[in-house]
Amino acid sequence: MSWTCRFVVVCGAGWAAAGLLVLLAACDGKSRETPPASEALAGDSEHGLHVVHSERLRTIMDELRALNLLGLAQDPEVEWHSGRDPVKVAQLASELASDARLIPTVYRGTEMTVESRRVFDELAATLERECRELGRLAAKDDRARMKAKVAEIVDTCNACHANFRGPVLALAAPRGLRG
């Protein structure tokens, strides 16, 4: 092997080793999970989080309404049409799940009893889980189970709104899905 070839091999190995060292230094052995919603950044103001979160939720819900998933859930006879793109439903469900995870952070300054806080956080976690499940069902284009999952999501929203916002703001309950 010529001197030039040896130099390239040694330099290439050196760069690879340097890259590996940088990668190892960045990975301290701890998993890099998304922090729970209760661990917002210190600079996050409650008002700012509420405004941004409310606008995001409004946008996501408007897009879901446009797909008429609630109509799909309320009436088993409603036809599935091309406007209800399962990929879009999966994307919106994922976005809604991410926002549900943030609900406890957005309302962290709201005074509640310990039990109310536990119920509130549990409902937010339930909503996140149900939305992730809806996303998985949409990815499989499992329409029958999507209808039932949408009904569960509406029930969870209604439970939270009834307990923490007032029944006036709750969503319309699906008809005829529960026996």
pTM above 0.95, yes or no: no
The pLDDT, as a whole number, for residue 147 is 78
Domains by residue range for the chain, with CATH: 46-169 (1.20.120)
- The mean pLDDT values, 10 residues at a time, for the chain of 179 residues are 40 35 34 38 46 66 64 54 68 84 82 90 94 91 82 86 64 46
Q: Is the distance from CB of 151 to CB of 143 less than 8 angstroms?
A: no
Contact yes or no for 107/120 (Cβ under 8 A): yes
Q: What angle do CA 167, 122, 130 make, to 5 degrees?
A: 85
* pLDDT of the residue at 98: 85
- pLDDT value at residue 122: 95
